[in-house]
Chains A and B, each alone.
Chain A
């Protein structure tokens, strides 16, 4: 079995990144002008990487399927971005951020990458402020912070509930500056259909113009995939509708190993499913757990009465409520990490305490926060004897200032006023920790093909902490990849422009056209969504919040059968040479039907519980995850061999030189 070389530099942990930057090869400015780089995806990682690469002097082409780079789904991130600035003086440091991230990831991430992430986190905030990102500030004019799950300091910077939007628009503005200079050429409404390898190196892509349907060839000296995660394999998720695994999966089929696909994050606080028509799920930011308390009725009769509409939550007395996170995890309470909170909610609902019609919801209650803030405000406004009604009104104002846009969004979707009655929430698929395997330089196992942001696997282990996705996307794009890529490109200064008329490009284009024809030639029995929903059901029921060997094996077989049926019977109206949204969806679902199988295979192989991956066979007596460090302290990197089930496993052993592996406890 081949071993994977992570290329982690030698030396003390805190010096690895500085030393590496001193050791890697550079490309001089004049030579950078002769080197082309393709960046696929324009979210935080893609936009920041392309802006920085262009600024350094490389010629960059960016691709996104949306009508503008600004639409990428990073824009929907709500809560915030972590950085070890220690502005609050609460004992934060680079080491603590590093430690929290490794522990939060349940000891399944690469130590050196995570430390580098913590190191550059502080630069992100400096950079964004210089770019005009309007972060929340205190009255003294300095930046404000809040707290997120799994940590005991306040290190999260935010812009109301729209932090992702503001950071992405910042990166987009940096891109725009380079577009104006002519250093970036932006291709919108374009989708990458395949990666082209020449002499074993990534040398370009085949893309489809989604408006004209034309198939295009684009050559480059390196290809960066910043195409996000694959959570839409579950059909219902908090991802945007177009999010897909196509670029990453095409690279996987061409030789890039896919790492830890079963590490997927199920976020505890989402608006529950309301019916069969549901097309997507909406997140309620983790920041709400700063002030919201999660509970279910203690008595099964009360829960039943609520489900049947005979009882309202406000009628349930305090002593009849079970604040189950506070009960089970007194040290972290409602701010336990996402995997822990999600499992605990599922456990209560499975036990019959759920509170919506289908019994798949718990309460997130702001009542005590409203009264606490209201009392404080009354005291500081000279209203020491204010009655409860006045206090409540004052408190609601403060909660509105903090979370107003989230409350408004909830009310629009759920048609209930969360100031007056507790929110109903339930876990939903939200993020993929797994992704393309990359080395310390963020290069995949294909030379010249890089993966950044959510598309790679490296930093979050088996569970990502809140406000760390934005941090990683921007760290990879602004501060890591633009430098590490030079080490590879230094050998390409005399290569000259990549010829897109070569046999390799011919072959790749032909394969893309054949694939499209195959999709268009289905018998026309079922729509693309029919298959996507079926796949989603298999994934949610058998590869969701808890998994077991029997069901995972069933999932593998069922997905393979579904894929076969899909190619035979899918119906795609229209033609391939015009705008055709059904064809776009079909191409994405085709790849999900392969990835889903690998996902289940990976989950079956990992015979331990860690982070978001919970195997029913591996749990402690009180239902906590039971890790197996002796046998599974590795990254599972899968090599494609024709069919997903035939994928070959390669292991990268995870070495912890600076951290002692412990049972993760938030009690």
Chain B
């Protein structure tokens, strides 16, 4: 396959970015998208140029490290697929592909396609946990039976990989889908109910402080989420939040 690439290049957070064009021959349909970029980088290094920097690690679609917007879509054209699991067979011979970093005020660019997503960590730190001591002696794991449906729903929310595609997809760069997934995971379990009120208040407060936009329920986040995290979680977060505010 022949591919024409337009890639966002930016030296660091302070400098101005621009698009650079590259042409690649001999791309195999079985290559992953990131392996295609490996090929590009090998050729750039051969020419004595700086390779394109991008975040990636597990290349199995689970660590959430890979990002980038491909032809206007976070993680590219395939549904329920991270960039690392996208393969070149999703493109046609001769295609032009535009690659940009995730764009959001709360995700500043570090270099080329790499952005700083530490705002997500800080949202989790503000309340994304259950306050039990690891060194304590908790009760037996089977002491509290949990309805299978709740456990499964909690698990589904917990499969969020924290990649930030929801923010990149949102016209307001809102982090509601991400935040609501964590709130939901705990809200659906008896162990998590104990601190449910303070958790939702603290996490929403931190989310706002980080500069993410508001949610207007357009649902782009759900469509682009590589793990299929449901909008129901946002509804649940709103319910939890209103309940917590009412309780004061």
| Chain A residues positioned under 8 Å from B60 (CB to CB) | 76, 280, 282-283, 409
A588 nearest CB across to chain B (Å): 13
Does B180 reach chain A (CB closer than 8 Å)? Answer: no
Q: Contacting B141 at CB < 8 Å: which of A76, A126, A139?
A: A126
Q: Are B140 and A126 in contact (CB under 8 A)?
A: yes
Instruction: Give residues 388-428 of A contacting B (CB, 8 Å).
Output: 408-409, 412-413, 415
Does A604 reach chain B (CB closer than 8 Å)? Answer: no
Chain A's closest residue to B86 (CB) is: A412
| Chain B residues positioned under 8 Å from A56 (CB to CB) | 135
Q: Are A85 and B141 in contact (CB under 8 A)?
A: yes
Does B218 reach chain A (CB closer than 8 Å)? Answer: no
Q: Contacting A179 at CB < 8 Å: which of B89, B125, B146, B189?
A: B125
9 additional A-B residue pairs with CB within 8 Å, beyond A129-B144, A165-B159: A71-B57, A126-B139, A135-B151, A176-B124, A240-B59, A275-B28, A277-B39, A279-B32, A573-B48
Q: Are B110 and A527 in contact (CB under 8 A)?
A: no
Q: Are A132 and B31 in contact (CB under 8 A)?
A: no
| Chain A residues positioned under 8 Å from B185 (CB to CB) | 132, 134
Interface centre among A71, A409, A482, A527 (most CB of B within 10 A): A71
Residue interface mask A140-184, B partner, CB < 8 A = 1: 111100000000000000011010011001001110110110000
A-B CB contact pairs (8 Å), 23 listed: A51-B134, A67-B65, A68-B121, A70-B162, A85-B141, A129-B141, A132-B129, A132-B186, A134-B151, A136-B155, A138-B148, A141-B146, A159-B158, A162-B62, A176-B124, A179-B125, A180-B125, A274-B30, A280-B60, A412-B78, A527-B45, A571-B45, A581-B53
Q: Contacting B130 at CB < 8 Å: which of A131, A141, A166?
A: A131
Give bound CA distance, A72 to B56, whole Å. 12
**Complex interface: stretch among B111-119, B208-216, B231-239:** B111-119
Give bound CA distance, A143 to B75, whole Å. 35
Chain B's closest residue to A180 (CB) is: B125
Q: A55-B134, A76-B62, A277-B28 are in contact. Are A241 and B57 (CB under 8 A)?
A: yes
Give bound CA distance, A73 to B56, whole Å. 12
Give bound CA distance, A582 to B54, whole Å. 11
Does B101 reach chain A (CB closer than 8 Å)? Answer: no
Q: A129-B141, A134-B158 are in contact. Are A52 and B63 (CB under 8 A)?
A: no
| Chain A residues positioned under 8 Å from B141 (CB to CB) | 85, 125-126, 128-129, 135, 143
Q: Are B133 and A279 in contact (CB under 8 A)?
A: no
Does B38 reach chain A (CB closer than 8 Å)? Answer: yes
Residue interface mask B30-62, A partner, CB < 8 A = 1: 111011001100101110111101011111111
Does A546 reach chain B (CB closer than 8 Å)? Answer: no
B179 nearest CB across to chain A (Å): 14
| Chain B residues positioned under 8 Å from A380 (CB to CB) | none
B86 nearest CB across to chain A (Å): 8
Q: Are B59 and A524 in contact (CB under 8 A)?
A: no
Give bound CA distance, A139 to B148, whole Å. 5
Does A579 reach chain B (CB closer than 8 Å)? Answer: yes
Interface class of chain B by DSSP: loop
Q: Which A positions have Cβ atoms within 8 angstroms of B? A: 48, 51-52, 55-56, 66-73, 75-76, 85, 87, 125-132, 134-143, 159-160, 162, 165-166, 169, 172-174, 176-177, 179-180, 186, 188, 211, 240-242, 274-275, 277-280, 282-283, 408-409, 412-413, 415, 478, 482, 524, 527, 529, 571, 573-574, 578-579, 581-582
Give bound CA distance, A73 to B55, whole Å. 14
Does B230 reach chain A (CB closer than 8 Å)? Answer: no
Q: Are A241 and B146 in contact (CB under 8 A)?
A: no
| Chain A residues positioned under 8 Å from B144 (CB to CB) | 129
Give bound CA distance, A274 to B32, whole Å. 11
Q: Contacting A240 at CB < 8 Å: which of B11, B50, B63, B148?
A: B63
Chain A's closest residue to B30 (CB) is: A274
Q: A52-B135, A126-B138, A478-B134 are in contact. Are A240 and B125 (CB under 8 A)?
A: no
| Chain A residues positioned under 8 Å from B197 (CB to CB) | none
Q: Contacting A573 at CB < 8 Å: which of B51, B110, B121?
A: B51
Q: A55-B135, A415-B89 are in contact. Are A73 and B128 (CB under 8 A)?
A: no
List of 10 A-B pairs having minimum Cβ-Cβ separation, nearest first: A141-B145, A173-B129, A130-B138, A134-B155, A129-B141, A134-B154, A240-B57, A176-B125, A177-B129, A125-B141
Chain A's closest residue to B46 (CB) is: A527
Chain B's closest residue to A415 (CB) is: B89
Does B96 reach chain A (CB closer than 8 Å)? Answer: no
Does B98 reach chain A (CB closer than 8 Å)? Answer: no
Q: Are B63 and A76 in contact (CB under 8 A)?
A: yes
Give bound CA distance, A529 to B162, whole Å. 29
Q: Are A241 and B59 in contact (CB under 8 A)?
A: yes
| Chain A residues positioned under 8 Å from B178 (CB to CB) | none
A299 nearest CB across to chain B (Å): 28
Give bound CA distance, A240 to B60, whole Å. 8
Give bound CA distance, A36 to B177, whole Å. 37
Give bound CA distance, A72 to B161, whole Å. 12
The number of chain B residues touching the other chain, given as a range, is 35 or more
Interface centre among B46, B62, B111 (most CB of A within 10 A): B62
Q: Are B155 and A166 in contact (CB under 8 A)?
A: yes
| Chain A residues positioned under 8 Å from B30 (CB to CB) | 274-275, 277, 415
Q: Are B158 and A166 in contact (CB under 8 A)?
A: yes
Does B192 reach chain A (CB closer than 8 Å)? Answer: yes
| Chain A residues positioned under 8 Å from B128 (CB to CB) | 173, 176
Give bound CA distance, A275 to B45, whole Å. 21
A423 nearest CB across to chain B (Å): 16
Q: Are A48 and B45 in contact (CB under 8 A)?
A: no
Q: Are B139 and A211 in contact (CB under 8 A)?
A: no
B135 nearest CB across to chain A (Å): 5
Chain A's closest residue to B153 (CB) is: A134
Q: Are A277 and B31 in contact (CB under 8 A)?
A: yes
A7 nearest CB across to chain B (Å): 22
Give bound CA distance, A478 to B57, whole Å. 26
Instruction: Give residues 129-186 of B contacting A (CB, 8 Å).
Output: 129-135, 138-142, 144-148, 151-152, 154-155, 158-159, 161-162, 185-186
Q: Contacting B64 at CB < 8 Å: which of A71, A141, A211?
A: A71
Q: Are B35 and A278 in contact (CB under 8 A)?
A: yes
Q: Are B134 and A529 in contact (CB under 8 A)?
A: no
Give bound CA distance, A172 to B111, whole Å. 26
Give bound CA distance, A591 to B126, whole Å. 38
A214 nearest CB across to chain B (Å): 13
Q: Are A87 and B134 in contact (CB under 8 A)?
A: no
| Chain B residues positioned under 8 Å from A126 (CB to CB) | 138-141
B159 nearest CB across to chain A (Å): 6
Residue interface mask B204-244, A partner, CB < 8 A = 1: 00000000000000000000000000000000000000000
| Chain A residues positioned under 8 Å from B134 (CB to CB) | 48, 51-52, 55, 127, 131, 174, 478
Q: Are A524 and B85 in contact (CB under 8 A)?
A: no
Chain A's closest residue to B64 (CB) is: A71
A194 nearest CB across to chain B (Å): 23
Give bound CA distance, A165 to B64, whole Å. 11
Give bound CA distance, A567 to B37, whole Å. 25
Q: Are A415 and B132 in contact (CB under 8 A)?
A: no
Give bound CA distance, A166 to B182, whole Å. 12
A419 nearest CB across to chain B (Å): 17
Chain B's closest residue to A241 (CB) is: B57
B106 nearest CB across to chain A (Å): 14
Q: A55-B135, A240-B57, A275-B31 are in contact. Are A87 and B154 (CB under 8 A)?
A: no
| Chain A residues positioned under 8 Å from B28 (CB to CB) | 275, 277
Residue interface mask B53-93, A partner, CB < 8 A = 1: 10111111111110000000000001011000101010000
Give bound CA distance, A134 to B190, whole Å. 11
Q: Are B35 and A70 in contact (CB under 8 A)?
A: no
Q: A130-B130, A176-B124, A275-B30 are in contact. Are A241 and B61 (CB under 8 A)?
A: no
| Chain B residues positioned under 8 Å from A48 (CB to CB) | 134
Give bound CA distance, A51 to B146, whole Å. 26
